[in-house]
């Protein structure tokens, strides 16, 4: 099991001002960080790979899809741009040394048709993600498709849908990204949904129901960790929390009020919470 921290608590782009926070995360005990991959300048990621190596921090990555790269578009030109865009994202992930690319890549975030996914949209998304996974496979990068609530996208909202999707993609390096915030909204019985997904789960976001400090709300934590232990999950547990100090991230995540005293509080209490849960529910560890 590895413990990670999503850096979008501080920024949506890597910059020198993050260095003290990164050093603090290492001192707390985190194994690595989840870097936001939106800047697609390979040279910058070469630099950050070296800096994170120097700090002793492993990497995962996160990316979401903008409307202009929507892979379910009926326009072949948009579909082609979507794949070319994801090739560049994968290249940046490899350059920074990330082992996992997390997030919803199967459809553009925040774009709605007014109905659920059509069969044609579903098929286009499956084919697109299969191509991306094939492109990422030689570098050893695992693509994890996030299950996101219905207010943010309309393709994969439940674990049941994600199981069907991943099985149709049928690539060993394409797995499910479980986020406890989204599961708290969409899953009637989160533990049962995790057990149904089983070994298909490749990445986990530890996120409270209000996006605040993990363990401070009403997410079904015991059921979640019991189910993760039951299916033999042994990957990343990454804290994802958002604040309202950065206007662009606050607007994107709809955080309009303070949810904690400081990012450092989230990092410290989130790490301690994950350690307690693992100690309780994974007794062999």
Q: How many CA atoms lie within 13 A of 27 on its CB side?
A: 7
Q: Is 68 in the active site?
A: no
Q: Which of 250, 191, 202 lies closest to 225, judged by CA? A: 191
Q: Is 240 in the active site?
A: yes
Please state the φ and ψ torsions of residue 239, each to the nearest 5 degrees: -70, 130
Per annotation, catalytic residue among 121, 152, 208, 240: 240
Helix ranges (H only) for the chain are 19-28, 42-55, 76-96, 119-136, 159-169, 180-186, 190-197, 221-230, 247-253, 263-281
Q: Identify the three-state secondary structure at position 156.
A: coil
Per annotation, catalytic residue among 34, 146, 152, 186: 146
Q: How many CA atoms lie within 13 A of 200 on its CB side?
A: 24
**Rounded-to-integer distance, Cα 163 and Cα 167, Å:** 6
Catalytic residues: 146, 240
């Amino acid at each position: 099991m590895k413990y990670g921290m999503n850096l979008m608590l501080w920024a949506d782009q890597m910059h020198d001002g993050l260095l003290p926070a990164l050093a603090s995360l290492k001192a707390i005990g985190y194994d690595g960080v989840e870097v936001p991959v939106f800047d697609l300048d390979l040279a910058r990621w070469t630099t950050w790979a070296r800096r994170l190596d120097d700090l002793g921090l492993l990497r995962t990555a996160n990316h979401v899809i903008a409307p202009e790269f929507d892979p379910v578009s009926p326009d072949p030109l948009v579909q082609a741009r979507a794949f070319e865009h994801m090739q560049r994202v994968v290249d940046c992930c490899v350059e920074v040394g990330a082992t996992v690319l997390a997030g919803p890549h199967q459809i553009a975030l925040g774009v709605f048709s007014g109905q659920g996914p059509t069969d044609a949209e579903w098929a286009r998304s499956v084919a697109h993600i299969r191509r991306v996974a094939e492109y990422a496979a030689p570098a050893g990068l695992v693509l994890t498709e996030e299950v996101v609530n219905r207010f943010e996208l309309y393709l994969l909202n439940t674990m049941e849908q994600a199981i069907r999707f991943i099985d149709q993609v049928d690539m060993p390096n394409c797995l499910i990204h479980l986020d406890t915030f989204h599961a708290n909204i969409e899953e009637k019985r989160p533990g049962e949904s995790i057990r149904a997904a089983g070994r298909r789960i490749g990445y986990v976001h530890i996120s409270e129901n209000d996006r605040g400090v993990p363990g401070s709300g009403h997410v079904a934590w015991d059921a979640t960790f019991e189910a993760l232990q039951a299916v033999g999950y042994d990957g990343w547990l990454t804290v994802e929390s958002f604040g309202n100090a950065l206007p662009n991230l606050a607007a994107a995540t709809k955080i309009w009020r303070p949810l904690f005293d400081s990012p450092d509080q989230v990092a410290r209490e989130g790490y301690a919470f994950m350690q307690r849960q693992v100690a309780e529910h994974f007794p062999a560890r």
